[in-house]
Amino acid sequence: MSTQTIEVRLANKLGYERIAMACSASFAQMMGMLPERIEDLKTIVSEAAINAMEHGNKGRPDAKVTVSINCQDNTIYVMVTDEGNGIKHFPPKPEIEKIIEDLESPVGFGLFLIEQLADQVEFNKEANGGHMVKMAIKMG
């Protein structure tokens, strides 16, 4: 299968991650991804975009988030880039039961979801000073 790529630039405003989710779902469907994997893809795209907006760009309204999605070798690759400095300290693994019972803050839950649903995750620092998270999810 040949490489197909789309790119979406988002304003740094919560809610706009839904645009990236919808684009990724449409793209994955066109590429033939199984519906249950599309739901996983939407979740990782959303969580990575929200993290980029809140933590990477620190909520700055002038900052941008770029989501690039391509399909190659029966795998969808997603790159989410922000204008931040990257993740310096990873939060501890969340205790799901405590979060559900409101005994613990959901800090780190997005990263946990991404790592659980994606087949591969890499956190990189970009040369231009921004930060990129690269995720891979197999088609089926």
What is the domain-level CATH number for residue 68? 3.30.565.10
Model pLDDT for residues 76-117, shown as the tens digit of each residue: 999 999 998 877 666 666 666 655 666 555 556 688 889 999
CB 112 within 8 A of CB 42: no
The predicted model scores a pTM of 0.85
The range of the structural domain enclosing residue 54 comes to: 4-138
CB 129 within 8 A of CB 85: yes
Q: How many domains does the chain have?
A: 1
Tell me if residue 88 falls in helix, strand or coil: coil
- pLDDT band at residue 1, thresholds of 50, 70 and 90? very low
Both tokens of residue 34?
């199984």
